Structures are given as C-alpha cells and as structure tokens.
C-alpha cells in the first residue's frame, strides 16, 4: 500500500504529465489517501483536469477540489453574455428537452436547475455549459424525474457490469429501491469506482445512485 508521501509524489507527476493542464499554481496535500487540491487555475477546464489527474493515481481514495478559478482579463465576461451562450449551448446539446432546464449565472458561476427524464440529459447539460467562455464553475441541481419506473433495474445494472471490461462485477453488490440504487463492495481503483457509478447511472429511469463502494487494491 502506498504511503501518503508516495501518493503526493505520484499526483504531482500526473499533474505535470497531463499535456492539457497548466498546474503550475496548484498546491496539494494527502492524508490517509485523500488528496486535497488548492491554489488556482486560469480556466474551469484546468480545474476539472486537475481533479481527473489526481483520481487517475493508484492509491487515491478521494479528492477534495478547492482550486480557485482565476480567469485572465481577456476571458472574463459579463454574466448576461455567459447566460446567453449557456442557453444556446443547451439548445444545441439537448434540442428536445432544453426548455425544461434553466441556467442561472452569478459572477461567472452557472447553476443548472429544472428537470430531466434521463441522467444522460443532466450530464449532457453540464458538459455543454462547461465549454462556454468565461465560466468559472458549474453547479448541477437538475432533478431526474423519469416518466416510467424501470423494470428489473437491479438485473439490468448487474448485466451491464458483467459486460464492462473495466468493472469486476463479482465484487460489487447492487441494491435497488424503485428508481434509486445503492452500490456496495470493493474495487481496485478510484477510476473503477467511478466507472461502476457511471454504469449504474446509465440504466433507464435512474434518479439516484448512492455509491458506497470502497477502494481496496
């Protein structure tokens, strides 16, 4: 098992290795396998990339992202302009369901509200507005409200796990209660844990996934 010092070293190396990330002003610390990222980046994309880089490192159990986004003057924009582009991005990404989602902008930070029938619509909405110039962050509180409750939800998720090469289905237990799912068990890495959660969210009609999976190499 890696020590905190070894994990910190590896995370620093991973931040340097990522060609899409300018991590010069990012600070980090590690305690009991939990990585805390601090400092600042010059874009929201870099903030997200730093978090993903840390999660890729073996031995990382969780990541707390406290990085501040400090946009260069040339990238700063008024909230109304950001809101206008966010609406356009939602229309482009979700041409049928965008009218059920609202984008509220304050100081460059976008909050997404409203409802979606599928989890992928909620995820797609966030992905779309992340790309808008001038965005410092996104909070996604879109509620997933399916029209029809899924049948045999537990079986479908378990079968999806078995088809997925990145997830060991034998180590994960699925509990279903209506449209809500709880995942339990152990996985070998943080990325495998995230993949298991992603697979569960992909099931039709899912409204909530409680991920209790433990990372245990």
CATH number, domain with residue 91:
3.30.1340.30
In the numeric block, which tokens belong to residue 45?
Answer: 């994309």
Give the span between the Cα atoms of 210 and 180, in whole angstroms.
Answer: 8
Looking at the structure, tell me whether residues 133 and 85 fall in a common domain: yes
In the numeric block, which tokens belong to residue 134?
Answer: 């001038």
**pLDDT confidence of residue 204:** 72
Q: Domain span at residue 23?
A: 4-69
What is the chain's mean pLDDT, rounded? 90
**pLDDT confidence of residue 201:** 86
Residue 96 has pLDDT above 60, yes or no: yes
Looking at the structure, tell me whether residues 95 and 123 fall in a common domain: yes
Percentage with pLDDT > 90 across the chain: 63
**pLDDT confidence of residue 210:** 92
Give the span between the Cα atoms of 35 and 37, in whole angstroms.
Answer: 6
Do 64 and 34 touch, CB atoms closer than 8 A?
yes
Average pLDDT over every residue of 162-167? 85
Looking at the structure, tell me whether residues 13 and 62 fall in a common domain: yes
In the listed set 118, 144, 170, which residue is the last one of a domain according to the structure? 144
Give CA separation, 124 vs 4, 18, 48, 67, in Å. 35, 24, 16, 23
SS3 156: helix
Predicted confidence (pLDDT) per residue in 113-157, tens digit:
999 888 889 999 999 999 999 999 999 999 987 664 555 678 888
């Amino acid at each position: 098992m890696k020590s905190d010092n070894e994990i910190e070293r590896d995370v620093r190396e991973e931040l340097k290795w990522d060609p899409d990330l300018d991590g010069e002003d990012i600070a980090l610390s590690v305690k009991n396998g939990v990585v805390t990222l601090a400092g600042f980046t010059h874009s929201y994309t870099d903030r997200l990339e730093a978090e993903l880089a840390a999660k890729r490192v073996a031995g990382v159990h969780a990541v707390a992202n406290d990085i501040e986004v400090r946009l260069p003057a040339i990238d700063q924009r008024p909230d109304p302009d950001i809101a206008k582009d966010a609406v356009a991005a939602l229309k482009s990404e979700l041409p049928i369901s965008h009218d059920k989602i609202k984008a509220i902008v304050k100081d460059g930070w976008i909050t997404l509200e409203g409802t979606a029938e599928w989890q992928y619509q909620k995820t797609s909405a966030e992905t779309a507005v992340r790309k808008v110039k001038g965005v410092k962050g996104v909070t996604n509180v879109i509620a997933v409200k399916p029209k029809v409750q899924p049948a045999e939800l537990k079986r479908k998720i378990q079968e999806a796990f078995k088809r997925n090469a990145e997830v060991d289905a034998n180590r994960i237990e699925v509990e279903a209660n209506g449209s809500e799912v709880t995942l339990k068990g152990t996985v070998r890495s943080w990325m495998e844990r995230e993949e298991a959660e992603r697979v569960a969210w992909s099931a039709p009609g899912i409204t909530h996934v409680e991920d209790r999976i433990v990372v245990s190499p």
